[in-house]
């Protein structure tokens, strides 16, 4: 994770904890599904 991203997360955590958690879950889910899709593409 880049420095800017970390600062952004920290800023959001300070301001609105709930939104951050939802956004992080969304981010992680999309990241993982992208990685999995790329992986499957490589295998297939």
> pLDDT tens digits for 1-44?
578 878 877 776 777 767 777 877 888 888 888 888 888 888 87
| Segments forming the whole domain that contains residue 28 | 3-43
Number of domains present in the structure of the chain: 1
Per-residue pLDDT at 16: 72
Per-residue pLDDT at 1: 59
How far apart, in whole angstroms, are the C-alpha atoms of residue 40 and residue 22? 27
- Helix intervals (H) in the chain: 3-15, 17-43
How far apart, in whole angstroms, are the C-alpha atoms of residue 9 and residue 3? 10
Q: How many residues does the chain have?
A: 44
């Amino acid at each position: 994770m880049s420095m800017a991203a970390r600062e952004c997360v920290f800023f959001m955590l300070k301001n609105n904890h709930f939104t951050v958690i939802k956004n992080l879950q969304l981010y992680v889910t999309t990241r993982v599904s992208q990685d999995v899709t790329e992986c499957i593409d490589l295998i297939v």
